């Protein structure tokens, strides 16, 4: 990977950066063939925190809105994130490969051509310390709580509570996460709550 080094970050020379309002935090890695597109509007923003990893082929496109990515976030290969109004990803969250996260829906309310009816956007908020499995779709208007795990291939159509394990189409809570520590001495799980 040929790369630029900007304020401690590594940005591949094949990455495309388009638009006025894009910030990348220190020690962030942006791999080959990534597209960061904030468009031409001064209101469109992409902000990426420090020590993030934006892997090969990822597309971040605001469509006139905002995308805010916290610190130490990883976004897997070929995932597409569309901001529209606002898309927020909290610190230390993992988005696996081939995910589609879109903060908008097409209007299809009458017999007019759907393409010309416009879009609505409520925004998406993915909390801190989440893990979104591969090939997952997250639809507009969804809030995913801190510490949530979303199983691979899920379609998230409604809010998911914090510290839950969820999966399916439509995505539903399977169980809650129980915090635990691995004992370094004997490898047994020790419950902390």
Q: Would you name the residues annotated as active-site residues?
A: 106
Parallel/antiparallel/unpaired status of strands 74-75 and 94-95: parallel
Query: How many other C-beta atoms can be found within 10 angstroms of the C-beta atom of residue 146?
Result: 16
The answer to whether the beta carbons of residues 81 and 59 sit under 8 Å apart is: yes
Nearest to 149 by CA among 93, 74, 81, 193: 93
CB contact at 8 A, 38 and 45 = yes
5: helix, strand or coil: strand
Query: Own/partner pairs for 139-147, CB < 8 Å, 24+ apart?
Result: 139/102, 139/105, 140/84, 140/102, 140/103, 140/104, 140/105, 146/90, 147/177
Q: Transcribe 39-53 into DSSP letters.
A: -S-TT-EEEE-TT-E
Residue that the structure tokens 């879009």 belong to: 119
């Amino acid at each position: 990977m040929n790369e630029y080094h900007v304020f401690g970050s590594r940005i591949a020379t094949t990455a495309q950066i388009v638009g006025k309002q894009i910030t990348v935090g220190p020690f962030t890695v942006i791999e080959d063939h990534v597209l960061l597109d904030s468009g031409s509007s001064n209101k469109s923003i992409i902000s990426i925190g420090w020590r993030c990893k934006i892997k090969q082929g990822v597309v971040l496109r605001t469509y006139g809105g905002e995308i805010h990515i916290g610190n130490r976030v990883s976004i897997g290969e070929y995932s597409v994130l569309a901001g529209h109004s606002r898309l927020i990803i909290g610190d230390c969250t993992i988005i696996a490969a081939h995910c589609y996260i879109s903060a908008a829906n097409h209007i299809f309310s009458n017999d007019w051509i759907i393409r010309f009816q416009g879009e609505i956007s409520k925004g998406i908020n993915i909390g801190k310390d989440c893990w979104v499995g591969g090939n997952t779709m997250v639809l507009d208007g969804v809030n995913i709580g801190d510490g949530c795990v979303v199983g691979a291939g899920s379609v998230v159509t409604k809010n998911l509570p914090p510290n839950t394990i969820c999966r399916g189409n439509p995505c539903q809570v399977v169980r809650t996460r129980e915090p635990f520590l691995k004992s370094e001495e004997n490898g047994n799980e020790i419950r902390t709550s």
